[in-house]
Chain A
Amino acid sequence: MGLLQRAVALPRAGEVVTLERGGWQLVLEGARGGGVALLAHDGRRGERLVLGTPAEGTLALALVAPLLPLRVRLRERLALMPGTRLRGYVRAPLVLLLGCGAGDNGAANHAFYELRPASLRTAWCEDNGVHGYVHVVESPFLLEHRAPRGEAEFLVPLFLHNDLDRPLLLDEVSLAALGREVREVRGCPTAMPRRLRWSRQEGLLQQARAWPATRRRTQ
């Protein structure tokens, strides 16, 4: 278990466990009969759940990427000149995935609920005959790998290539859903890097890049 995953033992009858994860405050209260009342609260909204858990079970908390494709509305307008490439990062909120099971590692295989932050909105889009649901987030375009303020956000490395013969102005960037995995890179949650290439023949191509290498400190 690292920065993005954590497992806590479920409280026994009469016990109350309070913990914070991903901007959420979780209050677990054990009840007689094996049930656990879970109250998740982010300061504005609350979610109440009643869990039927096994004996000696654990509650797994995993911070993952959102399920739907991301439409990132940039706070700055990007202008890509012809034949240029630009590397940067955008931020997006993390989703807290709840899992429950017996043992330390079995909890991740029984995910049952996800807590979306208030900044992660969902929209129905119909553009050019293609329709679907996307998550809409707002983010600055960071030129450096800068860690978010808290653990409730992750970075998406972007490699933008403009192979067109004209400048390209961008107000937002659509990112395909390439899995929910988020890794810890240089101390902050980071998603799989994406390469976006605009070409005249093939339009927009989006590819996944390899994960950045993690630097390990030797003592």
Chain B
Amino acid sequence: MAGDEAAHAVNRQRVGLLVLLVALAGCDPLPPSAVSPTAVEHLAEDLQSAFAPLRGGIERLATRQNEDRERVGELAQQVGAALQALQQQPSPPPNDDISALRARLEALEQQVNEQREASDRDRELMIHALDSMSSRLQRFLERLSGQPLPVPAPITNGAGTGPTTDSVSTDSVGTNGAATDGATRDANPTATPSDDAGGDAPDQQQAASPTPWWWACLAAAGGIGLAFLVARGRRREEERVEQATVEPRLADGEHEPFDLDTFASLRALATAAGELTDRPIAVDPPLPPEPHGAAAPIACVYEIEHPEPAALRRLVTQWLTEDPRILCSPPPSTVTEDHVLSVRYFLPPEEIGREAPRIEAALQALAQSPLDQPLDRPLVGDGKRGQRAGGDDYSSAVSHP
């Protein structure tokens, strides 16, 4: 819930900033009646109130970061406790599990430290950017009004106070004070006589028309802050998605981003502790296939006479599961009886005449090969045709010499 409120506050302040930037960048120079000290003070109050949700959003973001950090820390503590419990069991577990748990624990601690450093850096960067923006706004308003405005309270959060730029702001106001006074005198007919004390005519004319430099600076500061907040929001969303998903299993030789062995060890540990039970999960039925070819497959039966049918059966079974020409569903089957190995497999009807003789030739070559060698050689059919039996089955037989 705190995360949603923080995100809502950030979105609200984004909109406010955007409206403010559009207003500042698109409007004409302020009319004389709008730059009176009273109006400027109201504008300053409005700006401070506009930035108030930003402050609250940052505080909520900091709170959420602290909560995430504490959560990861608790997870690391639980893994450590699990490691201790595993070591204290009467039957010592395999060393691989312990080492995997230790590695996982170290990785978690490292992640906690990295996350803490990253969050601190982000927080300091954001506070520094906001202070800079605040000081620039302060200088701008003081230049408009010609008198110092009350300095807003610095932005603080639960972890501490970020760097401030008050000294820079004071120096800047002092260097530009004369021009600001003149501008205020010309623009505000109700100004006090003491306001006319300093400044010459060229400076007054220069300050009477607001230079675009301030507008550009203000717009750039706001744009940078807005871009920073948008980028930060996207990065947080990506991190949330990455944390919510599990990396898929990869094939051999590829980089494994998720330690499945460690995960398996943790699962085994949790199962042993009774915290996790395997419950049957309802799985949706498979999707219906799209119709492609209406003719059902035809069973082909091929009998091989061999002195060692059991050994040949293992070889043939492996070969049947690796040949893409043979349908995997319905599955092929083999039956041994005396010295005869009966092989039953299925082919589409349109491929019976072309593929069945080649498959039988390959089976014959397999039966004549040494059985103790692995199946690592090419099997090229020689085109020897079989004989069709009655019914839908396509059967033939060969006798091993």
Contact = CB atoms under 8 A, between A and B. Distances in A.
Interface string B225-254: 000000000000000000001111111011
Contact of B291 (A48, A121, A131, A173): A131
Nearest to B242: A143
A116 B324 contact: yes
B376 A44 contact: yes
Interface in B288-308: 288-294, 296-297
Interface in A141-158: 141-143, 149
B375 interface: yes
B210 interface: no
Contacts of A142: 248
15 contacts: A39-B380, A69-B289, A69-B292, A118-B323, A123-B329, A124-B346, A125-B288, A132-B291, A132-B292, A136-B328, A136-B329, A143-B248, A168-B284, A169-B282, A174-B288
Given A121-B328, A130-B290, 7 more contacts: A45-B379, A71-B289, A116-B324, A122-B328, A124-B329, A132-B292, A143-B247
A134 B248 contact: no
A46 B379 contact: yes
A140 interface: yes
Contacts of B375: 44
Interface of B: 245-251, 253-254, 281-294, 296-297, 322-325, 327-330, 346, 348, 375-376, 378-380
A129 to B, nearest CB: 8
A41 B378 contact: yes
A170 B284 CA distance: 6
Given A130-B288, A131-B289, A123 B245 contact: no
B249 A140 contact: yes
A34 B293 CA distance: 37
A122 B247 contact: no
A141 B329 CA distance: 23
A172 B283 CA distance: 10
Given A45-B378, A125-B329, A169-B281, A143 B291 contact: no
Contacts of B286: 71, 127, 171-172, 174
Smallest CB-CB A-B distances: 5 pairs? A46-B378, A123-B329, A140-B248, A174-B287, A125-B289
B100 to A, nearest CB: 21
Contacts of A71: 286-287, 289
B258 to A, nearest CB: 11
A20 interface: no
A122 B327 contact: yes
A95 B247 CA distance: 28
Contact of A127 (B250, B281, B289): B289
Interface residues of A, number: 47
A89 B250 CA distance: 13
Contacts, number: 120
Contacts of B246: 76
A176 interface: yes
B289 A76 contact: no
B284 A169 contact: yes
The A interface is mostly helix, strand or loop, or mixed, namely strand
A176 B378 CA distance: 33
A142 B246 CA distance: 10
A124 B249 contact: no
A127 B288 contact: yes
A47 interface: yes
A41 B380 CA distance: 9
A85 interface: no
A132 B290 contact: yes
A204 B287 contact: yes
Contact of B290 (A44, A123, A149, A177): A177
A149 B251 contact: yes
A177 B292 contact: yes
Contacts of A120: 324
Contact of B322 (A44, A140, A176): A44
Contacts of B323: 45, 118
B249 to A, nearest CB: 5
B281 A133 contact: no
A189 to B, nearest CB: 17
B289 A75 contact: no
Contacts of B376: 43-44
A43 B378 CA distance: 7
A68 interface: yes
A96 to B, nearest CB: 12
Contacts of A193: none
A75, A125, A142 pick with most chain B CB within 10 angstroms: A125
A23 interface: no
Interface in A35-89: 39, 41, 43-48, 68-69, 71, 75-77
B290 A176 contact: yes
A143 B253 CA distance: 19
Contact of A149 (B248, B254, B329): B254
Interface in A92-140: 116-125, 127-128, 130-134, 136, 140
B322 A118 contact: yes
A133 B292 contact: yes
A103 B16 CA distance: 66
Contact of B289 (A44, A130, A173): A130
A166 to B, nearest CB: 10
A219 B389 CA distance: 67
Contacts of A132: 289-294
